[in-house]
Amino acid sequence: MKQNDKVEAFAITRYVRISPSKIRRILDQIRGRSCNEALIILKFMSYKSCPIISKVVSSAVSNAKTKFNYAEGSFFITEARADAGPSLKRFCPHAQGRGFPIKKQMCHIISLI
């Protein structure tokens, strides 16, 4: 392979039952960092989404290792994003027979190395 060739591996997790805005605040912290550093950051952050994101990042690293036979320390997170998925639509009963709509959001997490 030439030096100019881009090596890209990715991992996708779909239908995660957390809103995309809660995932994006974590992804902003790890975008552009090395994978080892990102996994350490995710290990010590106390958010519900951190274990899910760390699984996606480690899966992308594993995909890159099997696809390109590179050492684990040489990977950087070039792109990490959370796209909106479908919403679960529920109703909560309110006074006088009214129903209050509740949208339970889902997202898709994409990690590109």
What is the rounded average pLDDT for all residues in the chain? 90
Confidence of residue 5 (pLDDT cuts 50, 70, 90): low
Q: Do residues 20 and 83 touch, judged by C-beta distance below 8 A?
A: yes
Q: What pLDDT is attached to residue 87?
A: 96
Tokens of 70: 């590179």
Helix (H) or strand (E) holding 38: helix 35-44
- pLDDT above 70: percentage of residues in the chain: 93
Domain 10-112, what fold? Ribosomal Protein L22; Chain A (3.90.470)
- The amino acid present at 23, given as its one-letter code, is I
* Radius of gyration in angstroms for the set of CA atoms belonging to the chain, rounded to a whole number: 18
